[in-house]
Amino acid sequence: MIHDTLARALHILDPEDAHTATILGLRLGLGPVDRTPDDPILATTLAGIPLASPIGLAAGFDKNAEVPTAMLRAGFGFVECGTVTPLPQAGNPRPRLFRLREDRGVINRLGFNNAGLGAFATHLARRRKTGPVGANIGANKDSEDRIGDYVQGLQRLWGLADWFTVNISSPNTPGLRALQTRAALEELLGRLAEARRAMTGDYPVFLKVAPDLEDGEVETIVETVAAFGLQGIIVSNTTVSRPGALRDAQKVETGGLSGPPLMALSTAMLARFHAANDKGLVLIGAGGVASGADALAKIRAGASAVQLYSAMVFEGPGLVTRVKQDLAARLRAEGFASVNEAVGAG
């Protein structure tokens, strides 16, 4: 409760300054610690990775892999860091992060601001391995070979992360989402597959997609992801659409919308991927999760695990514990003996 109160108190600051202060506090060891053992009903696996719970931290919170251990201590079952690009980049001009208080949502146009692969790799190498941590990799805005950037990210971090997410769905890097088309995706995943074959060890690789896909694109992505040996898909990134029910005046800001206003759209897209998924791919549900009910809705729509981030802006870090407890209770109330039993239950 104390940490939740402090998180809300940070709303007196600009959103990005508040986030910087949060990361600093976590680095200093001032973050919350969830000492309650996870309910056994929440135990599951994700592409072969054992999870104490299916509630993970989405990429975007810890861009430079500075505090994954602190977020695992806070109660997350797994943590995804990034997005990281080969070279450091400042991102888009500020202001570029906006709280939609009336809608409990967030709009960002950060533009992959991060300290680059060198710093990211150093942080991962130094971390205490207390739980699963993944790396979300991207391309520099001004890169002449964006696909090469993804290959470089995979090669540099191979062996340091427990899985990798290929982020081609951020709306804040011009032209990035074009990599979701068949020809571009085949080239990207082909070069990544070649790089994977040349390295020792095997780690799951996921593709992160947008919630704004057109008819036919879902099936194409499923086929291509499976053909090139990836293990799964994260559905979804932020949306460039604006639901008509938004009330906050800042809804007019450009960028990707996240938080509860994204829940319905992202879950509908997740269900489309589940329906098209005849390849045995793992699906991870992201976008709008703010409660155990939301988490279960994602799982019933086809997700083996879920990720959240934006809801903590308004609810504080204690949210993850509440979501886990609520999810466990709902699983039992609906007659499920495990998370896996509920996956795709409709």
Q: Kindly list the catalytic residues.
A: 170
Residue in the structure block whose two tokens are 């976008």: 287
Joined tokens for residue 252: 């007019």
Residues in the chain: 346
Smallest Cα–Cα separation from 104: which of 340, 272, 308?
308
**Radius of gyration of the CA atoms of the chain, in A:** 18
**CA gap 47, 60 in Å, rounded:** 22
Joined tokens for residue 180: 């979701």
Amino acid at 143: S
Q: Which residues pair with 123 in a beta bridge?
A: none
Smallest Cα–Cα separation from 241: which of 107, 71, 120, 101?
107
H or E element in which residue 286 lies:
strand 282-286
Question: What crossing angle do the helices spanning 217-227 and 263-276 adopt, rounded to 10°?
Answer: 60
Q: What residues have CB less than 8 Å from 119, skipping those under 6 apart?
A: 64, 88
**CA gap 240, 92 in Å, rounded:** 16
Q: Which residues pair with 205 in a beta bridge?
A: 164
